[in-house]
Amino acid sequence: MENRYILTAFGKDRPGVVADVSQIVYEIGGNLKDSTMTRLMDEFAIILLFSVREPDVDKQLTMECRRLERDKAISAFFRRLEATEAGPEAAQPSHTLFIEGIDHTGIVYRVSRFLADRDINIVNLSSKVSFSPESGSALYTMEIEAWVPEVRAIDELQKGLDQLGEELQIEIHMRPH
């Protein structure tokens, strides 16, 4: 039986961060299943999903995370996952939302709350602030992959997104996968 874990880590961006963190998984005999890694300003953030055949590696993982902090200035945390079966709805996003507008506080919260209140699950979210070459204004863009239940009336959902977009002074476009 395999034990599954999630490990998150972050530290100053530099060559070798990915190698330092993935070394832990390799040394405990782990098999990497999924990952997200990205640079955020001058930090590098990592999220790993991996499995291990050994029955109890929690103590070793704890020691390795402490070693990363001490020796490499990388903060790392892990959690063992419960054995569950993923339903078909969790497998693939059904829609992508594209959001764009002048950057201001609350965009992620308001959009994610709108979706959560309608039982729409965010599968992946990425966002970025860039600056308009013409005006110098901060432009916020966000892309959300979401699982929208088939019972959801898409026209009604789009109307609600349009209204939210007006309130937030942003554009929200939704496209099925």
- pLDDT tens string for the chain (177 positions)? 789 999 999 999 999 999 999 999 999 999 999 999 999 999 999 999 999 998 889 999 999 999 999 999 999 999 999 876 554 445 577 999 999 999 999 999 999 999 999 999 999 999 999 998 889 999 999 999 999 988 778 999 999 999 999 999 999 999 998
DSSP string, the chain: --EEEEEEEEEE--TTHHHHHHHHHHHTT-EEEEEEEEEETTEEEEEEEEEESSS--HHHHHHHHHHIIIII-EEEEEEEEP--PPPGGGTS--EEEEEEEE--TTHHHHHHHHHHTTTPEEEEEEEEEEE-TTT--EEEEEEEEEE--TTS-HHHHHHHHHHHHHHHTEEEEEEE-
Distance CA 89, CA 12 (A): 36
Domains of the chain and CATH, by start: 3-81 (3.30.70.260), 88-176 (3.30.70.260)
Q: Which amino acid is at 147?
A: W
Q: 43 has which bridge partners?
A: 12, 40
Measure CA 40 to chain center. Answer: 13
Buried b (16+ CB within 10 A) or exposed e, 26-36: eebebeeeeee
Query: pTM score, two decimals?
Result: 0.83
Q: How far is CA 33 from CA 11, 25, 36, 63, in A?
A: 22, 11, 11, 22
